[in-house]
Amino acid sequence: MTEEFTDPLKIIYQDDGLVAVHKPAGLLVHRTALAAGQTEQFALQMLRDQIGRYVYPIHRLDRPTAGVLLFGLDDETTRRLREAFTDQTIEKRYVALVRGYTDLNGEIDHPLTKWVDHKVKKKKMAQLAEGEELERREAVTHYQRLATAELSISVGRYPTSRYSLVSAQPKTGRTHQIRRHFNHIAHPIIGDHRYGDNRHNRMFRSELALSPLFLLAKSVRFKHPHSGKELVIETVFDPFWIEMVERLGWGRGVLENGQW
């Protein structure tokens, strides 16, 4: 069933050239093939109706990912900010809850294919000549571990379950990059039904009554395309994050340590 969003989008920042909102989890940025034939809401249209003027998407967030989302208010600002994303001069910071204890910090340098839809990927692979492989593009993510927790709940063959709270900075912008990268290093994000560990996802639903994807686009840092001044735009944690840190025994302070 399609989720209905009745509250207006929370505007975090706005000036003459751009506007930043907090995109809630479950909301599409704009119309895609994913919503073909369905009655859907889109962040772009909701914001357009909300502020009464046309807006231009600058980048995307996955549908289940919440957090900072930028829109341009004119062609020039939009062009410059899109170029900044392409040139990797915009610093993006995410927060995620992952399975297991990660290293204190690390770099995930793992090229990714363009294709994430399994049916499309299988079709593309069938079209390859013998010996060819799907094209992979550079993808790099840096991360820092912020906290660890261990619950006395058995998941799979282990008597307890372990988790890490991490801050992640993708240096490239590939589709589902952070989700695919943490899965690649065997620390999938909790609540990720595509790339995650469904045993832990089920445990969170049944034991903790928590089911969202624990991935938040916390902040962006960049030079304003017109003034050149450094601009940091960040959002707050949704209530389900507060519930999660309290149930894992961290308390709200772990989300207020300023390491984003």
**Catalytic center residues:** 62
Strand 66-72 to strand 215-223: parallel, antiparallel, or no bridges (unpaired)?
parallel
Indicate the SS3 state at residue 122: helix
Which is nearest to 235 in space by CA: 93, 121, 97?
93
Cα–Cα distances in Å, from 229 out to 137, 198, 237?
32, 44, 26
- Helical packing angle, 198-208 and 239-247, nearest 10°: 90
Q: Locate the DSSP E strands across the chain.
A: 10-14, 18-23, 56-57, 66-72, 91-99, 105-109, 112-113, 136-137, 140-151, 161-170, 215-223, 230-234
In a 3-state reduction of DSSP, which class is residue 163? strand
SS3 content of the chain, % helix, strand, coil (to 5): 25, 30, 45
At a CB cut-off of 8 Å and minimum separation 6, what does 104 contact?
144, 145
